[in-house]
Structure formats: C-alpha cells, structure tokens
Structure 1
C-alpha cells in the first residue's frame, strides 16, 4: 500500500465554506484542442466545491482509504520541522500545487528514498527539480490543460485592469470618493494597441483568441511557430525572439514555462528596450522577470503597469516589494484555482493516481518526467541539462 502526502493551501480564514455562491458549474465536453477531460473511475465530490484547500483534500480521502492507502494532507510545508518534511521520508507520492508549491528540491528528493511520483494538481511542475527527479527515477506528472482557460481568462482580466486603471478607480469607491479625474489620469483604451504573447501554447493561444475581438494588433513569439492558418485567422505577427516581441508591443502577456532559457529573461535591459509606458502581465512564473528590475521600471515610468499572480517564493514575504510597488494589479496565485478549475484538476489527480497505483500507464499528455527522462508534455515544455532548474529551490 502507498503513502500519499498532499500539500494544499489553507482553508479560508472564516473556515471551510458551508455553502457556495452558485449551485453548479458548467459541464464541459472537451478542451478546445479536442483533448478529453479527466476520466477517473468516479469522484467523491460535487463539482464547484472548494477542493484545493486542506479540508477539501482534492476529494481523495474516501477513494484512497477504501483502497488501503494512507493519505496525509497538510498546508505546513516550510522548514525542516514542517509536516511536509517530517512525512516526506517514507512517502511514495507527493501531490502539490503551483499555487502553494511544496518545493521538491534535490535535497528533499534525496531525503525521500521511497518517492516514486510527484504529481501537480494543476499545471506547472517547475517547483520540482526535474533533473534530480530524472536521476532518481521519479515520475513527474501534472493535470495538463485542467486550468489553462482559467489562467487565460485571468490574464485578459489583468490586461484590462492595467490599461483601464481599474484598481485605482475601485479604490476611490471604497474610500467613499467620486474622483473621476484621479481615476482616469492613467486610463486608456486597449483598442488599437499592439499586444504580444510570449509562448503560444494552450494558455497563450487562448489569450490571443480572447483578445482578437478587442481590435488590437496581435503579436507572439514561441519556439514552435503556429500554423499559417492560425496566424491568418487571428491576424498574428510572429517574432523570431522575445527581444523582437518586447520592443514591438504595448502589452506583453507572459505564458512561458520556467527553465534556464526563460529564467530572468525580463531584466533591466529587455524592459529598457520596450516602449515607454508598456505593460507586462505575468501569469506564468515570477522568476521569468527580475523582481527588483520590475519595481524600478514602474517607479521610473518605463513601465506603466505590471500585473500577475505568480510570485517567488510562494507565498511571498509580507515585505515583498511587489505588494507595495506603484501601478500594480497583483493577485495571489489564484488564476488557475477557480472552483471550476478545481473540479477538473481534482478529477485529473485521481485519474493519475488510479493509473499509477494499479500499474497502468499514465496518460501521455500528463507526463513531465517518466522512465528517467523528460516525457509527454514535459519533453515539449522543459529542458534538463544536468543542472538544477532555476526556481525549484528557495
């Protein structure tokens, strides 16, 4: 029998919700690219419940305990005396989330000799040291596409929030004011702007498709160029590299995975090449930008705004400068963990566990590392060069 260690974010400060704002969530047939939704044998939750917090347990306890497995769920993941570190030594499976990552460093992997599967409830596995996982023969998997559209919607929302200066306007309402001039002194129309997407995978393409009706000029860079018909349908301009994209647009939305080629890509030099008054939205990974260079660019006016929901480390310290820098529209890492998304990534987590625990092959699109090498989606999205991937440690 297996021991499964599940690290989830804490419950709401008011306690686990006894009721929800809506009675149901929409039922989807398939993802936009035709990939089928998760297909476990059953689920022990009602879609729309809060499954991603500690009390939600991803709806896994009944299923696992009926099969004789042990499930340990915690939100205590920091330091050598944390529940996570104490339980890791004899754990077979670690389940974590990109929103509340349990960083599986090379040191932690070395301290977990029984570990066979690192599973991300959601998408994004850079909190796992993939090189160390490869060397240790650990399978790494994630629930591909489960929350991609959720993230795309969040990115579009934050683009509009920055350009239209929504946050300051809302703050005047909360303060009891009616300060129209103060609200609009930094507000513009998105219409007619050049908007670029860095990495046009599932999320990036979804952002492009949602922005097309806004009558903007769309640009993108990706290491794999999109088909000509897609470029034509969306009116896309392809750029050969991130540098060309950055200096050609008013808004950049970042959707690349974190690996050595994207680590600290947006530094003072690249930001300085952008049009004065540009905006950056980053719902990918915080370490793709240089933290303090973002702050300086906002303070100097080089950037007009920065938004996103990814931080490093996660959660960030109370004095993290992005909490107080000017012209920001930051959120906690919530874009991919709506109640709608949770139903999908919880079901996908159970599907992966069912396959793994019974010795069946895990769906190829869910695989990041398998059999001592990058596999499935991982082979397309990550690199492994024998050194630790940036961002995997703290």
Structure 2
C-alpha cells in the first residue's frame, strides 16, 4: 500500500464553503489541438467545488482509502519540523501545487528513499529538482493543459487592467471619489499596440488568440517555432529570442516554464532594452524576473506597469517589495486555480494516480520526468543542468 502526501493551500479564512456563487460550470471535454481533458475512471467531488485547499483534498480521500492507501493532506510545508518534512521519509507519492509549492529539493528527495512519484496538481513542475528526480529514478508528472486557458484569461485581464489603469480607478470608487483625471492620467487603449509573448506553447498561443480581436500587432519568441499556418492566421511576427523581441513591444507577457535558460531572464540588462513605458506581465514563474530589477524599472518609469501572480518564494513574505512597488497589478498565485480549473486538475491528479497505482502508463503529455530522463511534455518544455 502507498503513502501519499498532498500539500495544498489553506482553507478560506471564513471557513470551507458550504455553498458557491454558481450552481454549475461548463463541461470541458477537450482542449485546442485535440488533447482530451482528464478522464479518470470516476471522481468523488462535484465540479466547481473548492478542491485545491486542505479540506477539499483534491477529492482523493475516498478513492485512496478504499484501496487501503494512506493520504496525508497538509498546508504545512516549510522548515524541518513541518508536516511535509516529517511525513516525507516514508512517502511514496508527493502531490503539490504551483500555487502552494512543496519545494522538492535535492536535500528533501535524499531524505525520502521511498519517493517514486511527484505530481503537480496543475502545470509547472519547477518546484521539483528535476536533476535530483532523474538521479533518483523518480517519475514527475503534471496535469498538462488542465488550467492553461485559465492562465491565458488571467493574462488578458492583467494586460487590460494595467493599460487601462483599472485598479487605481476602481480604488477611486471604493474610496468614495470621482476624480476622472486621476483615473485617466495613466490610461491608454490597447488597440494598435505591439504585444509579444515569451514562449508560445499552450498558454502563450492561447493568449495570442485571445488578443488578436483587439487589433494589436502580435509578436512571439519560442525555441519551437509555430507552424506557418498559425503565424499567417494570427499575423504573428517571430523573433529568435526575447532579446530580439522586447524592443519592439509595448506589452510583453511571459508564458515560459522556469528552467536554467529562463531563470533571471528579465533583469536590468533586458529590461533596459524594452520600450520606455512598456508593460510586463508574468504569470509564468517569479524567478524568470529579477525581483529588484523589476522594482527599479517601475520606479524609474522604464516600465509603466508590472502585473503577475507568480512570486519567489511562494507564499511571498509580507515584506516582499513587489507588494508595495508602484504601478503593479499583482495577485497571489491564482491564475490557474479558478474553481473551473480545479475540477480539471483534481480529475487529472486522480487519473495519474489511477495509472501509477494500477501499473499502467501515465499518458505521455502528463510526463515531465520518467525512466531516468526528461520525458513527454518535459522533454519539449524543460532543460536540466546535467
């Protein structure tokens, strides 16, 4: 029998919900490109429920315990006395989320000799040391595409929020004011702007498709160039690197995975080549942007705005400078954890567990590391240091 340790974020401060704003959510059966949505044999939850917090348990407890497995669910993940660290030595599986990552460092993996599977409930497995996972014969899997469209929608919202100066204007209303000049002194139209994405995978391409109707000029860079038919359809301009692309853009959105090639990419040097007064959106990973360089660029006016919902570390400390820097639109890491997305990534987590526990192959698009190497989606999206 297996021991599964599941690290999830805390319940709402008002308590676990007993009702929801909506009675149902749309059923998504497949994604653009044809990949089918998660298809476990069954689920033990109602779609649209809060599944990503501790009491939601990703809807896994009944399924696992009826088969005799042990499930430990916690939000306590930091430090040697955390529940995660106490439970790791005899854990077979660790489930974590990008929103509340259980950082599976090489040190932690070394202390978990039974650990064979790390699952990301969502997408993005950079919180796992992939080199250590490879060296230790682990499998790393994530629920690819489960919340890609959720993130793409969040990106478009943040672009419009910054360019149209929405957040300060909303605050004027909350504060009882009506000074229109205060609201519009930093408000522009997105129409006609040059918008570029760093990476045009599932999320980046979805962002481009959603922005095309805004009559913007679209740019992208990716180590895998899109088919000519897609470039023609969306009137895309391809650039061989971020350094080549960003000087042309009024808005840049980062939609790349974190790996050695992207870590610290947006530092002082690259930011200095961007248009003065441009906007930067980062819903990918916090460490792709240099923390202090972003603050400097906003304070100097090199950036007109920065928005994102990814930080390092996560959760971000109360004194993290991105909380108080000017002209930002930051959120905690929520872009891929809407209740709609949770339905899919919880179902996908169960599908991965059903395969692994049943000794059948995990579908290729969910694999990041397997058989001592990068595999599946991991081979396409990640690089390692070895």
Match of residue 47 from structure 1 = 47
Q: Unpaired segments of 5 or more residues in structure 2?
A: none
- The normalised TM-score by structure 1 is 0.98
Task: Write out per-residue CA displacement over residues 180-217 of structure 1, whole angstroms, 9 at most, x where no aligned residue.
Answer: 10011000000000000110000000000000000000
Match of residue 148 from structure 1 = 148
Task: Write out per-residue CA displacement over residues 152-177 of structure 1, whole angstroms, 9 at most, x where no aligned residue.
Answer: 00000000000000010011111110
1:337-348 paired onto structure 2 within 5 Å: 337-348=337-348
Count of residues in correspondence between the two structures: 386
Match of residue 218 from structure 1 = 218
Match of residue 96 from structure 1 = 96
Cα distance between partner residues in 2 of 1:246 and 1:129: 30
Match of residue 70 from structure 2 = 70
Cα distance between partner residues in 2 of 1:168 and 1:384: 41
Cα distance between partner residues in 2 of 1:93 and 1:227: 38
Runs (4 or more) in structure 1 with deviation over 6 Å come to none
Q: Secondary structure at the match of 1:102?
A: coil
The 8 Å contact of residues 260 and 385 in structure 2, kept in 1 or not, is answered as no
Q: Secondary structure at the match of 1:328?
A: coil
Match of residue 181 from structure 1 = 181
Cα distance between partner residues in 2 of 1:13 and 1:196: 38
- The normalised TM-score by structure 2 is 1.00
Cα distance between partner residues in 1 of 2:329 and 2:37: 32
Cα distance between partner residues in 2 of 1:7 and 1:241: 36
Once the 2 structures are TM-superposed, how far is the Cα of residue 244 of structure 1 from its aligned partner?
1.1
Match of residue 120 from structure 2 = 120
Q: Secondary structure at the match of 2:152?
A: helix
Match of residue 260 from structure 1 = 260
1:149-298 paired onto structure 2 within 5 Å: 149-298=149-298
Cα distance between partner residues in 2 of 1:116 and 1:214: 46
Once the 2 structures are TM-superposed, how far is the Cα of residue 93 of structure 1 from its aligned partner?
0.1
Match of residue 390 from structure 1 = none
Match of residue 105 from structure 2 = 105
Cα distance between partner residues in 2 of 1:78 and 1:109: 15
Match of residue 391 from structure 1 = none
The 8 Å contact of residues 77 and 102 in structure 2, kept in 1 or not, is answered as yes
Match of residue 318 from structure 1 = 318
Task: Write out per-residue CA displacement over residues 83-103 of structure 1, whole angstroms, 9 at most, x where no aligned residue.
Answer: 000000100000000000000
Cα distance between partner residues in 1 of 2:300 and 2:333: 26
Cα distance between partner residues in 1 of 2:91 and 2:119: 13
Match of residue 358 from structure 1 = 358
Task: Write out per-residue CA displacement over residues 199-240 of structure 1, whole angstroms, 9 at most, x where no aligned residue.
Answer: 000000000000000000000000011011100100100011
Once the 2 structures are TM-superposed, how far is the Cα of residue 29 of structure 1 from its aligned partner?
2.4
Q: Secondary structure at the match of 2:197?
A: strand
Cα distance between partner residues in 2 of 1:331 and 1:252: 18
Match of residue 389 from structure 1 = none
Cα distance between partner residues in 2 of 1:276 and 1:385: 34
Root-mean-square deviation over aligned CA pairs: 0.5
Match of residue 372 from structure 1 = 372
The 8 Å contact of residues 220 and 238 in structure 2, kept in 1 or not, is answered as yes
Cα distance between partner residues in 2 of 1:165 and 1:309: 17
Q: Secondary structure at the match of 2:306?
A: strand
Cα distance between partner residues in 2 of 1:155 and 1:56: 26
Once the 2 structures are TM-superposed, how far is the Cα of residue 385 of structure 1 from its aligned partner?
2.6
Cα distance between partner residues in 1 of 2:29 and 2:348: 15
Task: Write out per-residue CA displacement over residues 133-164 of structure 1, whole angstroms, 9 at most, x where no aligned residue.
Answer: 00000000000000000000000000000000
